[in-house]
Structure 1
Amino acid sequence: MIASPYASALDRIPVREHRIDVDGTSTAWWEYGDAGAPVLVLVHGFRGDHHGLEPIVAQLPGYRIVSPDLPGFGASAVFADRAHDIDGYARWLAAFVEAVGLDGDYDLLGHSFGSIVASAAVAGGLAPRRLVLVNPIGAPALEGPRGVMTRLAVVYYRASAALPERAGFALLRNGAIVRVMSVTMAKTRDRELRRWIHDQHDRYFSDFGDRDQLVEAFRASVSHNVGEYAADIAVPTLLVAAERDDVTPLEAQRRLVTRFPDATLEVIPEVGHLIHYETPGDAAGRIARFLEAGERA
């Protein structure tokens, strides 16, 4: 295990682990910060879990941060009664917020795949005070600057689905393939930070429920984007985009922000789809200013 460069900051923030039944799904979630502080709910990305957003958590003292593992990822169970698609995850997110008892007095943040889930939930009636989308999936994945890589990923997941379950599961957890993905997305030139990013992906990127659940979630991740829901999102929204994102190019993010009734775009330079790992301090500063401006309004 490689030590996190953000460990000392995170260690200063109290954390409590919980488990709750959410609409029939056993859900693990973590609570950071003081119980009486303003609440920010986090929704992590595809194949990740709550650990991935901890570097941003570490830079946001003064908040009560509620961070669940999405069903089928990390320590949360798979869905027993629905597909692992955007509608299923959006329905679960609304039920999670209700089960935790937040009563509308919270802000919501989604990263990557979580940006689609959070946007779909808000467009469907979930009512946070404000919405933050980090590395939002702002255009169809096959149209991004790495469209060829996305097509290869489609082939990879189709192959895993066609194999016998044990063989398909092993293919999905193949360490060499995970490393290729990690190397492709990391943009930092800091060798130690790159080593830590690769270690994070090695540790958490294969912690999913089962083969079928992961394949369903992947199909959802490449079949939908935030733009489908933007016009129906009435709450103030912040998009935190990356200058070198391989999934959604910056030009698409600039088009995306115009589709919201009330949204602003912040661009972090010299970073790609791993804002939460490479520039969490910069992201957290922009997020905090947006949330605090809303508190003063």
Structure 2
Amino acid sequence: MAAARRREIDVCGTRAAYWEYGPADATETIVAVHGFRGDHHGLEPVVAHLPEARVLMPDLPGFGATPPMERHAHDLDGYARFVTEFIRSVAPGATVLGHSFGSIIVSAAVAGGLSTPQLILVNPIGAPALEGPRGVFTRLAVLYYWLGARLPRRIGTWLLRTRIVVRVMSLAMVKSRDKRMRAFVHDQHDRYFSGFSDRDVLREAFVASVSHDVTEYASRIDVPTLMIAADRDDITHIEAERVLRDEFPRATLVELSGVGHLIHYEKPSEAADAIRSFLTG
């Protein structure tokens, strides 16, 4: 993959950091939004398989290199506003892509008036998280983030960043049995899963991620939509994704087998192929 070009822009009261990949004169521009606790690095494996496209990837406020927003809460409305203003400022009319929590954010933004020719959702959150295949695990996560926010700041922040818990999360999501792939996934999570600015932003974003899903917005999104879902996703069961597809006026569902909520790590080339076919189809 060609070297990324780092940029910055003032959006929603924060100095947003974003990265530009691919040729500046590409015929297709995509703005990609990462998931909860991650940053732009998470979607780089997919971008590596789309060398012909210009891709812009911001770090969401409070994560990675982007500081928290000063004028907005870090809830779904705040993040949707950020994405809307970011795209209108740097790439109006771009195709919009969201992964996981990012799928909720971009869906809310498009349903709220963000103009885009097409929408791409990778591992979309197609049902309430507490009702997913691992609802019990989600409830434990609710307790975990609650403790992280309520304990004394130093202890709570340590709990939220400790590698032991990060590894448990990583093990819960990875499906590949390939040792090199598993090592890669764990390394990525170790590097980037604790890059949040502070525990208050983290908990606010977590509450947003488990309190909403794409079904709230699907019927109001009247642009061609690609859903790339996994048959072993523990966040949203594949049957729920099929139901979600029918909620959109114009949606196509691509199902990838043998993978869970980490399509962007475990099957990036397949995801890129689906995206390319969708954009050129």
User: Normalising to structure 1: TM-score of the pair?
Assistant: 0.93
Find the counterpart in structure 1 of residue 45 from structure 2. Answer: 55
* AA aligned opposite 2:109: A
Find the counterpart in structure 2 of residue 85 from structure 1. Answer: 75
* AA aligned opposite 2:18: W
2-side partners of 1:84 and 1:166: how far apart? 21
Counterpart mapping for 1:62-211 below 5 A: 62-100=52-90, 102-104=91-93, 106-211=94-199
2-side partners of 1:40 and 1:81: how far apart? 26
**Conserved 8 A contact 2:31-2:55:** yes
Counterpart mapping for 1:182-261 below 5 A: 182-261=170-249
Counterpart mapping for 1:19-34 below 5 A: 19-34=8-23
Find the counterpart in structure 2 of residue 4 from structure 1. Answer: none
* AA aligned opposite 2:227: L
2-side partners of 1:99 and 1:169: how far apart? 34
Q: Tell me, which stretches of 5 or more residues in structure 2 are unaligned? A: none
1:70: Cα distance to partner? Answer: 0.5
Structure 1, residues 39-73: CA drift from partner, whole Å, max 9, x if none? 01100000000000000000001100001000000
Describe the SS at the equivalent of 1:227: helix
* AA aligned opposite 1:246: D
1:103: Cα distance to partner? Answer: 2.6
**Conserved 8 A contact 2:12-2:69:** no
Describe the SS at the equivalent of 1:291: helix
State how many pairs are aligned.
Answer: 280
Describe the SS at the equivalent of 2:247: coil
1-side partners of 2:72 and 2:89: how far apart? 19
* Runs of 4+ residues over 6 Å off in structure 1: none
1:161: Cα distance to partner? Answer: 1.2
**Conserved 8 A contact 1:230-1:259:** yes
**Conserved 8 A contact 1:178-1:202:** yes
Q: Tell me, which stretches of 5 or more residues in structure 1 are unaligned? A: 1-9
1:208: Cα distance to partner? Answer: 0.4
1:15: Cα distance to partner? Answer: 2.0
Percent identity (aligned): 60
* AA aligned opposite 2:172: T
2-side partners of 1:204 and 1:14: how far apart? 19
Query: Among residues 265, 270, 276, which one is paired with 1:277 in the alignment?
Result: 265
2-side partners of 1:165 and 1:83: how far apart? 20
1:118: Cα distance to partner? Answer: 0.4
1:24: Cα distance to partner? Answer: 1.5
2-side partners of 1:23 and 1:147: how far apart? 34
Describe the SS at the equivalent of 2:60: coil
1:23: Cα distance to partner? Answer: 2.4
* AA aligned opposite 1:19: E
1:14: Cα distance to partner? Answer: 4.2
Structure 1, residues 83-123: CA drift from partner, whole Å, max 9, x if none? 111100000111101221x232x111000000000000000
